[in-house]
Amino acid sequence: MSELLKTQKCPHCSYEVDDSQAEWDEGHHNVTCAKCGKDYIVVTHYKFEGFEVGNKCDWCGELANELSHPHMFDMAIGKGMCKDCWDHDREVYKGSYGEDIGEFKPIRMEEKPLSDNDTSNVSIIE
């Protein structure tokens, strides 16, 4: 296998293809040079570097290393909130209502998230 190039170039006339016109999909591609009109093949290679895995924040939808249960003003049973959303809400509630929801407290891994049907920790006050 020859050296991998960082740009797509015609092997006949060395015309460098603009990135917006290059073949970016992985695999073999038949290409006709826009300058000399000759055909050539481009094989695009990608290297798998691994997976980034984490939790999904139920508020912003972004990847988060840690989640917290929702705060007292935004109860959504079974949902998790990332630190960025927590900090945003904390500033909003402090500024708008003078209430502090407190520091972000991540859920411990062994702690089971609440489900909509879980009543094991619910007390009924009469």
pTM of the model: 0.52
Listed in order, strand segments (DSSP E) in the chain are 27-32, 39-44, 55-56, 63-64
Question: Would you give the distance in Å from CA 68 to the centre of its chain?
Answer: 18
Grouping H, G, I as helix, E, B as strand and the rest as coil, residue 18 is coil
In this structure, what token pair is assigned to residue 86? 């927590």
Q: What is the pLDDT of residues 8-58, one digit of tens each?
A: 999 999 999 998 888 888 889 999 999 999 999 999 988 888 888 889 999
Spatial distance between the Cα atoms of 57 and 67, rounded to a whole number of angstroms: 7
Q: What is the pLDDT of residues 73-111, one digit of tens each?
A: 888 888 999 999 999 999 999 999 999 999 999 987 554
Grouping H, G, I as helix, E, B as strand and the rest as coil, residue 96 is helix
Spatial distance between the Cα atoms of 61 and 72, rounded to a whole number of angstroms: 20
